[in-house]
Amino acid sequence: MKKEQKRDSDRKHLTQKEEPQTDSVKAQPEKPIPLAFKVLIPLVILILFELIARGLSVTVLKNYLSRIDLRTKLEKIYIPPPEPSNDNVMRLYVYGGSTTQGFPNPKVGFVPQLSYQLHHIFENKNIDVKNLGWSGFTSTMDRYSVTSSFWHKPDAMIVYTSHNEFVHPEIDNLLLYRSMSHLRDNSVLFRLLLATSNSLHGQTKADNEEPVERKRVPYFLVKPYYFLKLAILKQNYRSMVKIAQKSSVPIIFITATSNIGQWSPPEMPVTIFPPGERYQQDLKKVRTLIEEDNTDEAEKTTKIYLKKNPNDSSFLYFQAQIEAKRQNWDLAKKYFEQSKNSDPLQWRANDEINNFVRSLEDKKTVWVLDADKIFKENSPHNIPGYSLFLDNVHPNIDGHNLLANSIVELLRQDRIVEKDWWDKTNAPLPEDELLKQMDVTQDDQFQIAEITALYCIKNPFFNFQCARDYLEKAEKIKPTDWQIPASRSVIAYLTGNIDETKKQYKIAQDYYGAPISDKDALKIPYLQKIKEKLL
Instruction: Spell out the SS3 assignment of 27-80.
Output: CCCCCCCCHHHHHHHHHHHHHHHHHHHHHHHCCCCHHHHHHCCCCCCHHHCCCC
The answer to which of 45-54, 245-254, 351-360, 361-370 has the lowest mean pLDDT is 45-54
* pLDDT exceeds cutoff 80 at 37: no
- Measuring CA to CA, how many Å separate 349 from each of 235, 357, 372? 16, 11, 10
Q: Quick: pLDDT tens for 483-512.
A: 999 999 999 999 999 999 999 999 999 999
Q: Quick: pLDDT tens for 403-423.
A: 999 999 999 999 999 999 999
The count of other CB atoms within 10 Å of the CB of residue 421 is 16
> Beta strand 251-254 with 366-369: parallel, antiparallel or unpaired?
parallel
- CA nearest 209: which of 529, 518, 525, 533? 525
Phi, psi of 94 (to 5 degrees): -115, 125
Beta bridge partners, 482, equal none
Task: Give percent above pLDDT 90 in the chain.
Answer: 68
Confidence of residue 7 (pLDDT cuts 50, 70, 90): low
The answer to which of 60-74, 236-250, 311-325, 419-433 has the lowest mean pLDDT is 60-74
For 97-216, strand residue ranges (E) read 126-133, 156-160
Which residues contact residue 145 at a Cβ distance below 8 angstroms, ignoring those fewer than 6 apart? 77, 79, 95, 132, 137
Residue 30 pLDDT: 67
For the sheet containing 89-96, what is the strand order? 126-133, 89-96, 156-160, 251-254, 366-369
Q: Quick: pLDDT tens for 149-207.
A: 999 999 999 999 999 999 888 888 888 888 888 888 888 888 778 777 766 555 444 44
Say whether 290 sits in a helix, a strand or coil: helix
Residue 75 pLDDT: 85
Cα(204)–Cα(208) distance, integer angstroms: 8
Distance between alpha carbon 161 and the CA centroid of its chain, in Å? 10
The count of other CB atoms within 10 Å of the CB of residue 258 is 26
Confidence of residue 1 (pLDDT cuts 50, 70, 90): very low
The answer to which of 58-62, 71-75, 199-203 has the lowest mean pLDDT is 199-203
Phi, psi of 218 (to 5 degrees): -80, 85
Confidence of residue 14 (pLDDT cuts 50, 70, 90): very low
Residue 508 pLDDT: 97
The count of other CB atoms within 10 Å of the CB of residue 243 is 19
Q: Quick: pLDDT tens for 317-362.
A: 999 999 999 999 999 999 999 999 999 899 999 999 999 999 999 9
